[in-house]
Amino acid sequence: MRWSKLWILIRINLKVTFGFSAWLYYFRKRDRRFWGGLGIFAAVLAGVAPLFYFYLLLLQETAAELAGTGWEGVIITSGAVLASALVFFLGLVYVISAFYFADDLDRLISMPFKPAEILGGKFFAVLFSEYLTIAPFFIPTLLVYGLQVEGGLLYWFFAIIIYLLLPVIPLIIVSLGTILLMSITNLSRNKDLLRILGMVLLVVVLLGFNYLVTRLPEGGEMEFMLEIMQEPEGMISITGRAYPPSIWITEALTAAGAGDRLLNLGLFAGVSLLGLLGLMVGADRLFFPGLIGGQEITIGGKVKPGLLQKKVRSRSPVLSIALREIKILIRVPIYLFNSILILIIAPVALFFPLLLGMGGVNIDEYIALIEPDLLKLGGAGFFALLGFIASALSSSISREGKLFRISQQIPVHPNYQVLGKLISGLLISLLIVPIIILAAIIIFPWSPLDIIIICLLGLLLSVPLLAFSLLIDLLRPYFNWQNPQQAIKQNINVLIAMVGGFLILLGLGYVMVYLLERGLGINWIFLLTGIGAGLAGLIFLLILFQVAPRRYRDISL
């Protein structure tokens, strides 16, 4: 591998990923897009600031409770585990899109670059994106602990190095798994299906492994916890079992001697470097076969007898648009994994520890702590939130890219098109119904009537969330993406819609809890909340109908 060419590719990928050149051009030309983007970024920061404040407050209170106990380092361990988990789950989508679905790959493989150089440039671009992902979660951890123990110059120097190295190991695991999966599935005719199943299996295996290494010994939970609490580093070790490198990170920042700190930092950095070398070796052997195989097409198929004689069936334009949206999500693996498959992954990740017992404690003991009526309201809120995240309407316009001109030219009114997109989100939300039914059978004590009410209310709560997210993408679509992953993951519309949707759902949730605390019957709460959500959805829909014709006419590609 030639380091000079690798550095060139890293610089190019960073410019493409973050759009540095475009933003610098807009700034020099005093273009309104620069100041508009800056204003939107400030508005998003203001929207997430309360959540960040509560997270920081929680860290400070935890640090105060642990002060003097010898367990202060648990804050660092927990922060490292959380940040690494985010890198893994989000990196799974980033990596497969950047490695195998970027628009510039056709040109790069025709140039005198080695596979390791091409993949290395993509890897470091994803790595820099992950620095932004972990910043709100890990930097506050470093600050709170450092200010509490008054960490010296060595602490802050090591903290910077660890922050830069933290995403490397989980991202290497994802990258190696991805190139191996793409190489293996290249041998099959059903490559896309196998790759999707492989990604889901990878997530399930990770969750299963996490459970196995963190579970408490059956029948001896109390004795085990007492033994752990008697050791100064016991809590760090049990917390770090979910991600062993987090123990090295903690020891590198909290160990008493400078030698111990340097040893753990060297161990963490050494494993990260060996992982990078392993990834480069794997890239030279496996990257091109998976990449070229993923771009192959089959030709020469014969038309089935009678196919041309079949009558063409007409369908409602609204329904046609809705089905088209769903087909796009299904046919593009990145969209499928990042939207519809989240309906499987999110519930599994959330309830997996409970289903397996949480160290021998029966799940009914947790359910009994929650008031039944509040549990039903939470079920409806979870339905709406999951459907909102899975629908991907906040990037529905942007995902069309340069092909949006076709939507501008087809003889279907823009209002019908946005209504079809909204219906596609609601249809995807209906996939949550089996999940609610399964949850009622396995976990929650819900009757058939409860399930119907929860699903209906969840669907009504979804309407304003979906309409709002579609409105945001319609107002400022992002068409200049280089690969499908960027259309979602680097689209600020998704973040704006996410923050706005959370605020809408939080407001409706506050009203529900307020009415419940005032003694109003649960059926009345369901009714009033459903009416309120329906009215909010109708308002956003009317706004969409006012905006859509003008935007479809004025957007220039």
Beta-carbon count within 10 A of 313 CB: 5
The token pair at 15 is 């410019």
Beta-carbon count within 10 A of 103 CB: 13
Q: Residue type at 543?
A: I
For residue 69, the model assigns a pLDDT of 64
352: three-class secondary structure by DSSP: helix
Q: CA-CA-CA-CA torsion for 542, 543, 548, 553, nearest 10 degrees?
A: 130
CA distance 426 to 494: 18
CB 89 within 8 A of CB 207: no
Sites in the chain below the pLDDT cut of 70: 1-3, 17-23, 25-27, 29-41, 43-51, 68-71, 101-103, 150-151, 185-242, 289-314, 333-334, 337, 345-346, 348-370, 391, 483, 485, 489, 557
Beta-carbon count within 10 A of 149 CB: 15
3-state helix/strand/coil string of 96-109: HHHHHCCCCHHHHC
Q: Residue type at 472?
A: I
The token pair at 346 is 């999110």
For residue 349, the model assigns a pLDDT of 61
Tell if the pTM clears 0.85, that is, is over it: no
Q: Residue 220: phi, psi to the nearest 5? A: -130, 35
pLDDT tens sequence across 60-78? 777 777 776 666 777 888 8
Find, among 365, 467, 459, 342, the residue nearest to 415 by Cα.
Answer: 467
413: three-class secondary structure by DSSP: coil
Between CA 385 and CA 395, with CA 391 as vertex, the angle to 5 degrees is: 115
The token pair at 112 is 């005198």
Question: Following DSSP, what letter does each residue of 76-89 receive, concatenated?
Answer: HHHHHHHHHHHHHH
For residue 161, the model assigns a pLDDT of 93
pLDDT tens sequence across 101-145? 666 777 777 788 888 888 888 888 888 888 888 888 888 888 888
CA distance 537 to 557: 30
Instruction: List b or e across 490-510, with b for residues whose CB sees 16 or more CB atoms inside 10 angstroms.
Output: bbebbbbbbbbbbebbeebbe
CB 322 within 8 A of CB 420: yes
